[in-house]
Amino acid sequence: MRVSVDWRLSDPGLDTAQPSSQRQLAVALSAVPDGSGNAAVNLCLVLDRSGSMGGRALETVKAAVGEILDRLSPCDRISVVTFDHRAEVFIDNQPATDAEAIKQKVATLRAGGGTAIDEGLKYGIESVAKGKTDDTVSQIFLLTDGENEHGDNERCLKIAKLAAGYGITVSSLGFGDHWNQDVLEQIADAGGGSLTYIQRPESAVAAITTLFARVQSVGLTNAHLQLTLQPGVRLAELKPVAQVQPETIELDAQKDGSDAMAMVRLGDLMVDTARVVLANVYLEQLPAGTHPIAAVQVRYDDPTQGRADLLSERLTVEITAQPTYQPAPDPVVQQYILTLAKYRQTQIAENKLKAGDRQGAVTMLQSAAKTAIQMGDQGAATVLQENATQLQAGKELSESARKQTRIVSKTQLQ
């Protein structure tokens, strides 16, 4: 595999008369096949088997596990961790060579007890680490339907960050309407994975297998984007970098002492779906002409070759300062800007609602709905406007409505 890197500016031109200008730099990254084939998957399923998962919920999860097992190849690895108020390694990390035996064991799972998500995650990291090598794509799927009543939410976040530091991606799946959306989103964001909402048991198989198909499309892992800024160019102080595809995530930019360089961890790069990062930069006044303003480079691992710490070509980002400036907004970057605006507007709405500012929440949800319409995201616009209408009518939002709001702000409903 090799990495594809492409950059675009929100406007490639600059007014020479302006003492300061702001631009958004979009960087799209993906894996490009080179005939070396796909890397082996090293997957750990961390499954909630607490009492609330009894009946149809657990049975559909078992069916989804069976579907995944059918899609694994003999070179892939699988492990299963289960948790209620305690966690255990239910199936040790092993080659996926005897799917039927594993299915039979999974079929014996029974529900009961409370919920300790952090213990499940801890055992999940330990299990997937046993099969992690330079030529595998290591992943954890955390599935739960409840609050972390027997655990520590801060510990969950620390464990997810630890996993990402080891090159293990963590995705979270919320089943039903009673899981904590803040905790599961933070776990997925910190773990470099995705957040999935399984609203009904009958959609569980499709949601989990869709997520697994995404894992199978991973070509490169442990990707870090390095931005080197020219003198007179700086990142915004507040929320300088965000991912806008495939999900919207606020990213941490690790700067060096001079602020001339920023490193952002991106995690996995897929073959069919670009990971797009949007950086908010400020530029000092420039004389007429074309000027380099930044350099873009990616450090990554290639599990198809078992190679780590590879570097992409270093690309130079340029802007043209014009004495007779005519704005020329890039339509692709404008779409990315709207994507981020929808997410941030929804986040503000949620925060206002938590603070008791119902009218403020209504206003921001309506703004987010208008932004979604501008993007052509009619599904999100409908959810956001319906929730604004509910609040305006003095009604409370259901747990389902709150979770749909969170999901459509950053990704698509399954």
Q: What's the per-residue H, E or C state across 57-93?
A: HHHHHHHHHHHHHHHCCCCCEEEEEEECCCEEEEEEE
- pLDDT score at 159: 96
Cβ atoms of 407 and 194 within 8 Å: the answer is no
For 255, the 3-state DSSP assignment is: strand
Cα separation values, 410 from 242, 243, 355, 402, 404, Å: 11, 10, 22, 13, 10
Q: How many CB atoms lie within 10 A of CB 274?
A: 18
Angle, nearest 10°, between helix axes 399-410 and 358-375?
A: 40
Q: Which conformational region is residue 209 in: left (phi greater than 0), alpha (psi within -120 to 50 degrees), or beta?
A: alpha
- pLDDT score at 34: 83
- pLDDT score at 36: 73
From first to last of its 414 residues, what are the pLDDT tens digits of the chain? 899 999 999 999 999 999 999 999 999 999 999 877 789 999 999 999 999 999 999 999 999 999 999 999 999 999 999 999 999 999 999 999 999 999 999 999 999 999 899 999 999 999 999 999 999 999 999 999 988 888 889 999 999 999 999 999 999 999 999 899 999 999 999 999 999 999 988 999 999 999 999 999 999 999 999 999 999 999 999 999 999 999 999 999 988 766 789 999 999 999 989 999 999 999 999 999 999 999 999 999 999 999 999 999 999 999 999 999 999 999 999 999 999 999 999 999 999 999 999 999 999 999 999 999 999 999 999 999 999 999 999 999 999 999 999 999 997 444
Rounded-to-integer distance, Cα 206 and Cα 36, Å: 29
pTM of the predicted model as reported, rounded to 2 decimal places: 0.93
Rounded-to-integer distance, Cα 118 and Cα 158, Å: 9
**Tokens representing 401?**
């409505």
Find how far residue 89's CA is from the centre of its chain: 26
Domain boundaries, the chain: 2-36+219-326, 40-217, 332-410
- pLDDT score at 37: 78
* The CATH classification of domain 2-36+219-326, taken from the options 2.40.10.10, 2.60.40.3670, 2.40.50.140, 3.40.50.300: 2.60.40.3670
Amino acid type, 188: A
2-36+219-326 and 40-217: identical CATH topology: no
CATH 3.30.200.20 fits 40-217, yes or no: no
Cα separation values, 380 from 128, 326, 339, 368, 414, Å: 35, 33, 11, 9, 13
**Tokens representing 122?**
């801890």
Residue 201 per-residue DSSP state: G
Q: CB neighbours of 182 closer than 8 A, spacing ≥ 6? A: none
Rounded-to-integer distance, Cα 169 and Cα 395, Å: 39
Q: Give the residue ranges of DSSP H helices in 320-377.
A: 331-354, 358-375
Cβ atoms of 178 and 399 within 8 Å: the answer is yes
